[in-house]
Structure 1
Amino acid sequence: MDLSKLIMEYKGYYAIVKIDAEDQIFVGEVFGIADSLSFHGTSVEELEEMFHQSVDSYFDACRHFGKEPERWELI
């Protein structure tokens, strides 16, 4: 089993998480949208908080620019 990659979900958005062993952090990237959303944390709690902040900030930016947030349907 490969535990170096994990999937997280928040408000219907998904992120893949990798472990950066050299820097001792978790690094996540939201997938299923054309925009780039990435985040990191030194603990699971911090990682989850930063993921939520990234998605919420994405919603705020979409509202600010008058565009609909993207979300690709995952099969």
Structure 2
Amino acid sequence: MEYKGYFAFIEFDDSADVFHGRVVNSEPYPIATFEAAETHELRHEFERSVDAYLKWCEEDGVEPK
């Protein structure tokens, strides 16, 4: 999954019946993981996490990579 140049690694937790994701190329700060029960929700949560990360970098005056 890709959004604004950031890529997510996705896993499915069969025991919890939920998808877990994490962004694999965020610097200087790691992006928190995200999760959802449905794939369309997963994409939304991923995009929301990336957007929050970019806002955080802007507020801290840091250039995101």
The reply to whether TM is greater than 0.5 is yes
Computed over aligned residues only, the root mean square deviation of the Cα atoms, in angstroms, reads 0.9
Greater RCO (CA < 8 Å, at least 6 residues apart): 2
Tell me which protein shows more strand as a share of its residues.
Answer: 1
Mapped pair 1:19 → 2:12: yes
Tell me which protein shows more helix as a share of its residues.
Answer: 2
Of 35, 38, 47, the match for 2:42: 47
1:1-75 aligned at under 5 Å gives the runs: 8-34=1-27, 35-37=29-31, 38-70=33-65
Query: How many angstroms apart in 2 are the aligned matches of 1:60 and 1:11?
Result: 13
By how many angstroms is 1:32 displaced? Answer: 1.4
Tell me whether 28-37 or 12-21 shows the greater mean CA deviation: 28-37
Consecutive unaligned residues in structure 2, runs of 5 or more: none
Q: How does the TM-score come out when normalised to structure 2? A: 0.91
Query: How many angstroms apart in 2 are the aligned matches of 1:68 and 1:36?
Result: 13
